[in-house]
Amino acid sequence: MSGVLKTLSMEDLEGQQGQGDSMVSGRSLGNGQHSRPQSPLKFFSQAKKTINDIFKEILEYINESRTFLAEHKDGSEEKKHVEEFQGMVRGIIEVLARDHMKCCFFGRTSNGKSSVINAMLRKKILPSGIGHTTNCFLQVEGCDGMEGCLYTEESDEPKSVNSVKQLASALSTAKLKENSLIRILWPKEKCRLLKEDVVFLDSPGIDVTPDLDDWIDKFCLDADVFVLVANSESTLMRTEKNFFHKVSDRLSKPNIFILQNRWDVSVLEEDTDIESVKEQHYQRNVEFLCDELKVANTQEAKNRIYFVSAKEALISRLHEDNQTPTPTGSLQRDFTDRLFEFANFERMFEVCISKSAVKTKFEQHAKKGKTVNSNLREVMEKTYTDSLHQMEESIRVRQETADELDYLEKQLTLLTGDIKDKIRFMVDDVERKVSTALSEEIRRLSSIVDEFERPFHPDQVLLNAYKKELHLFVEGTVCQNLTGRCSTAIEKTIERVETQLTERIAVLLPEETKQQLYSLVPRRDFEIAYRLDCRNLCADFQEDIQFRFSVGLTALMQRFLGKRGTHSVLTGHSNTIPRPMSEGGPQTPIGEFYRPLAPEQNNQVLISMITTFASITSRTTMGAIIVGGLIAKAAGWKVIVVTSGLYGLLYMYERLTWTNKAKERAFKRQYVDYASSKLKLIVDLTSANCSHQVQQELSSTFARLCNQVDLSKNKLQGEIGDLDKSLAHLKEISAKAKLLRNKSDWLDKQLNGFIEEFLVKPDA
């Protein structure tokens, strides 16, 4: 087996693998003699160097800007911003110097995570073996020296790399806690991956602790790639899935590779359909990445799943590097296929981690650089523009400012009194118009209610819904009619008044401020809100749609006696209070204590007679027979029969015609009477509310316009004190600001070039 390994060439591997693996063509599994022209990891190094150079230029530009502002605008807000940018860019440069590509390896205990890392490093650095081996987190990163060392969290003193077996092994008595981190610094010259700023993070088995959330927050948030090392002898376990679900919740679409390690055991299964087992693993892994985690599509997932043997890869590479001999029987049949699969994984891993790291590490830095540069350019542009403007205007403005300020104050005082009178007159006119229009709408409320067409039913639930819709319809129709009657004219008047206000204020302001003044006037049309709230206003409305016979006894009594008199007759009680009898003197008038209604006063005698009659007839049946006999004797039986028949027919006719439509008409008549009485109560309130809205609109517009005048006054006062001091420096400031502005444009092109080369094109 050793001889086969020594003579194995890249051509042999490519011949066994076939023509479908073009992505790794040119890659050797041995000493790198057939390696590709340039590693994808160089992409990260180039991007890192480029953006470092750009930020050094930005820092130099900030220093120049800071010096310039300190000389000419000491204590200004622009200087404070530049100082903040200076600290920000220095921090970014320090972060860029430490930025690296980070890959985290996770999996269950004894799945071979450490062996995979050792195989990629081509050196057995991390402790590995059967059982629970790695007890804490191990981070392998490159160093510039020729000797490796390690650091623990408890001490800054470097230790020998060999001590990792005692500190990190689960079998050691001196082992650290599970959430501890050991940083292993290995010479970059001994490992190509470390030389390209790749950092590996090995972890304990995710099935040995429940503190997965703490692990993710502490070690994984800055990771570019995750590698799930699974055991090919079993399917993915719930523990592994749960961990990466937690990772996916905290990170947006993490890059995840799945290694089905220990695939060399497949050659020992003589009676098993290995291809079926492989397909089963493959399908479940694809479903996990695509359907459960949703971090990749099907095509991407196919390039993230590999069947390897880390043990064979490590043994092969140690032999190729002449570090150790190949143990007899350590390489199983068809091991070259698994070595090729491991090499293919490394190739895809390098491409993925390089692009991901460039995007995650440098994209935000590039955006921050553009933001800083853009803000600095705005500062320089503002400084340059202000200096030019001041150079042109300073001499003329200094002579005119004092007279202009005095004129402005006097004219504003006169204008304020005139505008207040005009607003008061318009408010009164609006109140009259709205009051008149609303009164007219109340008078034609019957027509509005007749236009309401909805299914009517006397059921109380449906009737409540009917009333609710009727409230909304009446309110909407009345408001719409009021809008048509009043709003257009009022809005035109408001617009005209606001235009007049703006024109009169504009006369007081300099030309450069007039354009800002017009923007203060609302561009939208003013709309008056007519708040009637019929639903609450008519909430106490109680309809009476019970059948009432038009010539029945109760109806006739109501017609002659009124509702209160009828109630008194039917109940046997009077609504009046009896006058108390005084001893030895005249009775005290009842009006001293209670004033009865006029209809009741007029009908007291008639009510007493009918009550007496009803009392007599209701006492006994004999009384009713006597009364009926007297009537029959006086009129005759035939007349009584004919009259009774006609009376019954009339009753039947009215009863049959008392349909839902008739009930609806009765309901609408009652509603119109009730709503009209209620709406009349709020005519003054509604008109006053509308006039108040108009007053607020005009007052607020005038206040905004006056505020602009105040700003102009303050500006004039400031110019008087500042112009004499600033004129001598304007020319120098203008020239320097223009130079710095142009340098900002050049830096912006550099950042755009970086984004185009390293962030846009790789994804294209």
Paired strand residues for 134: 169
Which are the contacts of 490, defined by CB distance < 8 A and separation ≥ 6?
430, 433, 526, 528, 694
CATH of residue 318: 3.40.50.300
Q: What are phi and psi of 52, to 5 degrees?
A: -65, -45
Q: Cα–Cα distances in Å, from 66 out to 81, 83, 370, 376?
A: 9, 7, 18, 10
* Number of other CB atoms surrounding residue 610 within 10 Å: 20
- Say if CB 663 and CB 414 are below 8 A apart: no
- What is the model's pLDDT at position 29? 40
The reported pTM is: 0.51
Domain contains 195: yes
Contact 27, 34 (CB under 8 A): yes
> Mind listing the pLDDT tens digit for each residue in 565-620?
655 655 555 544 454 444 444 444 433 333 444 444 445 555 555 555 555 444 44
Which domain covers residue 312, as residue numbers?
100-333
Q: Is residue 112 part of a domain?
A: yes
Residue where a domain terminates, one of 294, 318, 333? 333
Q: Amino acid letter at 408?
A: L
Residue ranges in the chain modelled with pLDDT below 70: 1-38, 73-76, 129-133, 170-175, 209-210, 212, 271-272, 323-324, 326-330, 517-526, 544-545, 547-625, 627-628, 630-633, 635-636, 647, 654, 761-764
Distances from the Cα of 207 to the Cα of 131, 186, 233, 261, 416, angstroms: 13, 29, 17, 17, 80
Strand partners, 306: 259
| pLDDT at position 525 | 64
- How far, in Å, CA of 119 to CA of 323, rounded? 13
Give residue 685's pLDDT: 84
What is the DSSP-derived secondary structure letter of residue 361? Answer: I
Q: What is the pLDDT of residue 612?
A: 53
Q: Please indicate, yes or no, if residue 694 is contained in any of the structural domains.
A: no
State how many domains the chain has. 2
The residue type of 345 is: F
Structural domain contains residue 648: yes
Q: Cα separation of 112 and 260, whole Å?
A: 10
pLDDT at 597: 43
d(CA 131, CA 116): 16
The confidence score (pLDDT) of residue 587 equals 46
Q: What angle do CA 61, 66, 67 make, to 5 degrees?
A: 100
Q: Give the residue from 304, 333, 362 where a domain finishes.
A: 333
Percent helix, strand and coil across the chain, each to the nearest 5: 70, 5, 25
Choose the final residue of a domain: 316, 333, 350: 333
Which backbone phi and psi does 140 adopt, to 5 degrees?
-105, 120
In a domain, 459, yes or no: no
Which residues in 236-257 are b (16+ Cβ under 10 Å) and which e? Answer: beeebeebbebbbeebeebbbb
Edge-first strand order for the sheet with 149-152 is 155-159, 149-152, 181-187, 137-143, 198-202, 101-106, 225-231, 255-261, 305-307
* Per-residue confidence (pLDDT) for residue 691, from 0 to 100: 84
Within a domain: residue 134? yes
H or E stretch covering 228: strand 225-231
618 inside domain: no
pLDDT of residue 550: 64
Residues in the chain: 764
- pLDDT, residue 598, reads 46
Q: Is residue 490 part of a domain?
A: no
